[in-house]
Amino acid sequence: MKQSTAERIEFLRREIDRHDRLYYVEARPVIGDRDYDLLYGELAELEKLHPEFHDPASPTQRVSGEPVAAFAQVVHDPPMQSLDKTHTKAELADFAAMVGRELPGEHPSFCVEPKVDGVSISLRYEKRRLVCAATRGNGSVGDDVTGNVRTVKSVPLVLDGSAPETLEVRGEIYMTREGFVRLNEREEDAGREPFANPRNAAAGSLKQLDPKEAAARPLDIVVYNSGGAGCDGFSSHGEMIAKFREWGFPVPPWSRRCGSPEEIFAAVDELEGLRHSFRFEIDGAVVKVDERRFHQLLGATAHGPRWARAYKYAPERAETVVEGITVQVGRTGVLTPVAELHPVELAGSVISRATLHNADQIARQDIRIGDSVWIVKAGDVIPAVESVIVEKRRGNERKFEMPAFCPVCGGPARRGEGEAAVRCVNPACPAQLQRRVEHFASRNALDIRSLGGTVIEELVSRRLISDPLDLFSVRTVDLYALEVSGHRFGKNALTVSRSLEKAKALPLHRWLFALGIANVGVSVAKDIADAHERMSDLADSPVLKEVLANDERKGRERRILAIKVEAAKATLAFFAGEYGRRFMARMAQLGIDPVSEKRPAAAAQGPLAGAGCVITGTLSRPRGEYAKMIELAGGVMQSAVSSRTRYLIAGANVGAAKTEKARKLGTEVIDEARLLELLG
């Protein structure tokens, strides 16, 4: 029997909700991004044509709210309390002893979980639909941020039918490590103040007045506690968490059940060793009495529950000296001050430099050349100056001032109105050109082999190139004669020439990423390329214009084939601008018009459909060749092992730490022969 429109819409909603759960909660996707986007696009189109079937709980409605002037207040019942903190194992032992004294004759067990460094949130469901999301606030009253939380894809809008009709759960909204790095790069490129750490970034995202702005932030959630309704029938915390997962909530990816202080100590030590392997930052462990019947007996203080403690890890930081402050020039002209540090080891790597972001940051922290400072890794990734050790100042430290002129080209450097960044305004600045060419030639772009930073610097200084496309006009003989680091470039010139020739035939998404357009990363470039036939179609793209039109109409359709509004706007602006027009004219002269390499529909049913894959070590074939085979088989290539990785393909010369991390996360480690078996 033919399916009605209403039935098709309901099917698509259920199917998208199912795939969201498989991806965000269970970390085992069964379809690729593009197939997901086809389902999403069909649903959005049907809802647009049939507004009578509008449902605020539809997956397309995650970004449907209008901007608000202020946040309404939500009363928490029961209050959202904080946890009392411990910093030593002796204090943990005291906590366990206190629990034993309060429960004479009982033998309570404990549950140890990661302490996620994010923003506490409460989610309330009525008739199994999300009706309210609120921050902790002062514990008794918080802000209603439902519109923003609805944009977080890992937050279920409608619960599984086995869940209670009325339910309140509590957890933590966080920003992923990778997302934090990308967000700060965008903020600095736009001349805005970068975020200090992922927690601040997450908090700022939840306080956006426009849900569309919140939707552009890489937020996620983990649910780890009950709220005021729907959670009375569980005998243990572990049982409750398992049921939360069954109902569709992301829950802590790691936990240990312990019966003694010694087992608790072992668990918190094990967790500390894994602290850099999670998608979120953790600043400690949470130790809870597992049996929920004891929670009421133990009660709570005015500050927090007596049945739980937070065990804070010592911050990973190192002391060093700021030996100098230099200024780097990025490809958008932003001048970034960088602290040149006396080398020091921190979190497994030697740190000798740390970005200081901008003049405001330096003034705020009062960082001076010669200062002793504490160094940390923001988001466990980016080296950063945490604070100055003022008591170690000797009086000969020197204040730093941002230059009025570009340190590379000598052109004027100006600070735009409302911007934190100072920019070189000379479009011919060699440093900007060098960074643009480095990006243009990078592995994920045109992959021009043997064309490293020092070679590009030499080409720019000799004025052999003044634009990335000039690479295609440089004579091989001129490349051959280059002197790089005291050595003749020689036969490497042939490698560059061959790579440039191959680049002419690379697919559209590689060229689009190579342009360095704001908000167009590797995956976004693929999304845009999939919606077009060739690069010449982008200058007046009806698809990109439709994305903007949908946004302006405040329509229910947020995306077309996953293309975000910001990316569509930036892409159209690039090709409409003077440089974009000159670029396309030059491409026409070179006879280059890249064509889209659309992913075959068969990939959705391939042997690796939806499987996250990471390649490491030395293989018998180039990694790029295997990556293409994996994607054609429906797999999803990833740069690092995470909880969403199904296979780590390990070649020769792989360190034990990497494979051990994969095993702890439940990732299957396979060799090249097994991969070929899977590929068939």
Residue 446 identity (one-letter amino acid): L
Write phi, then psi, for 315 (nearest 5 degrees): -60, 140
Do you know the residue count of the chain? 680
Q: Does the pLDDT at position 413 exceed 60?
A: yes
Catalytic residues, by residue number, are 115
- For the chain, what is the radius of gyration of the CA atoms? 27
Q: Checking DSSP bridges between strand 612-616 and strand 645-650, what pairing results, if any?
A: parallel
Residue with the two structure tokens 């999670």: 278
Beta carbons within 8 Å of 226's beta carbon, 6+ residues apart: 168, 169, 170, 234, 240
What mean pLDDT is predicted for residues 585-606? 78
Mean pLDDT over each residue of the chain, to the nearest integer = 85
65: pLDDT strictly greater than 60: no
Range among 16-25, 445-454, 501-510, 646-655 with highest mean pLDDT value: 501-510
- The DSSP H or E segment spanning 629 is helix 623-632
Per-residue DSSP letter, 499: H
Q: What is the pLDDT of residue 186?
A: 75
Lowest-confidence segment of 27-31, 206-210, 231-235, 524-528 by average pLDDT? 27-31
Question: Of 198 and 315, which is predicted with more confidence?
Answer: 198
Task: Provide φ and ψ at 300, rounded to 5°.
Answer: -150, 155
What are the DSSP calls for 456-493, one per residue?
A: HHHHHHTTS-SSGGGGGGS-HHHHHT-EETTEE-TTHH
pLDDT tens, residue by residue, 444-484: 899 998 888 888 888 888 889 989 999 999 988 888 888 77
Q: b/e per residue, 92-111, with b = 16+ CB within 10 A? A: bbebbeebeebbeeeebbbb
pLDDT at 62 over 80: no
For residues 414, 417, 421, 422, the Cα torsion angle rounded to the nearest 10 degrees is: 0
d(CA 129, CA 166): 9
Kindly state the percentage of the chain with pLDDT values over 70.
Answer: 91
Residue 315 confidence (pLDDT): 74
Pair 669, 663: CB distance under 8 Å: yes
Both ends of the chain: CA-CA distance in Å? 37
Nearest to 155 by CA among 126, 133, 187, 177: 133
Amino acid at residue number 400: F
Burial class (CB in 10 A: 0-12, 13-18, 19+), 679: middle
Backbone angles phi, psi at 552, to 5 degrees: -65, -35
Q: pTM value? A: 0.59
CA-closest candidate to residue 353, choices 335, 386, 326, 318: 326
Range 256-264 average pLDDT:
95
The pLDDT value recorded for residue 134 is 92
- In this structure, the strands spanning 636-637 and 612-616 are parallel
pLDDT higher than threshold 50 for residue 395: yes
> pLDDT value at position 553?
55
Spatial separation of the C-alpha atoms in residues 385 and 362, rounded to whole Å: 10
78 upstream amide cis, omega within 30 of 0: yes
- Of 629, 669, 631, the C-alpha closest to 648 is 669
Q: Is the CB of residue 457 less than 8 Å from the CB of residue 434?
A: yes
What pLDDT, in 10s, does the model give residues 284-319? 999 999 999 999 899 988 678 999 999 988 877 889
Mean per-residue pLDDT, 375-383: 73
Q: Report the alpha-carbon distance of residue 126 to residue 221 in Å, rounded.
A: 20
What is the pLDDT at residue 558? 41
Query: Token pair of 157, please?
Result: 């809008």
Question: How far, in Å, are 116, 125, 186 from residue 216 at the CA level?
Answer: 22, 25, 11
What is the band of 358 on the pLDDT scale with cuts at 50, 70, 90?
Answer: confident
In the predicted model, is pLDDT for residue 325 greater than 90?
yes
Q: Which domains does the chain have, with CATH numbers?
A: 5-63 (1.10.287.610), 75-312 (3.30.470.30), 318-397 (2.40.50.140), 427-503 (1.10.150.20), 508-590 (1.10.150.20), 601-679 (3.40.50.10190)
